[in-house]
Amino acid sequence: MDLASVIRTIPDYPKPGILFRDITTLLGDARGFRRAVDEMVQPFAGRRIAKVAGIEARGFILGGAVAHQLSAGFTPVRKKGKLPAETLRQTYALEYGEDEVEIHVDAVAPGETVLLVDDLIATGGTAEAAIKLLRRAGAEVVGASFVIDLPDLGGAKRIEALGVPVSTLVSFEGH
């Protein structure tokens, strides 16, 4: 099965000129979803991964499944103000302005190995913020896994420049 064939492309969303890569069709395809999770797990099988950190929101779906397969715990990386207990926060730049991601202060223990998971790596800003946040909490981020890479936007290279190996399943040209 070609995973790219079960990922829907929506033109001009969220704005004209953008080709939005929608993984809800992949998630809804039992064989495709299973294969994607298996392929995300494969590079890390046999490694000691204490936690999988999933970036809101599609990273929660994928990250939960990957954590289950790796017998690891799951840590949500959420947008500001969504977590109920004390948090650590990391600010990152957007095209116009800034945003923030958070984790609970007790989400990871110092020295724990963490795999970061999300559906797509574009510019890498959110993933970079998540890595910095996890490292501030004392985690050792041992990899980042994404279903889709948009290599023209340079996000995977940005994450690799932080010393975090990147694994992706499908690449699409453009934005």
Residue of 21, 58, 78, 112 with catalytic role: 58
95 is catalytic: yes
98 is catalytic: no
Using CA of residue 166, residue 145, residue 169, residue 39, what is the dihedral sign? Answer: positive
Whether 119 and 23 have beta carbons less than 8 Å apart is answered as yes
Q: Which of 66, 95, 64, 94 is nearest to 80 (CA)?
A: 94
Q: Which of 99, 135, 100 is nearest to 116 (CA)?
A: 135
Angstrom distance (rounded) from CA 20 to CA 22:
6
Beta carbons within 8 Å of 91's beta carbon, 6+ residues apart? 98, 99, 100, 129
Active site residues: 58, 95
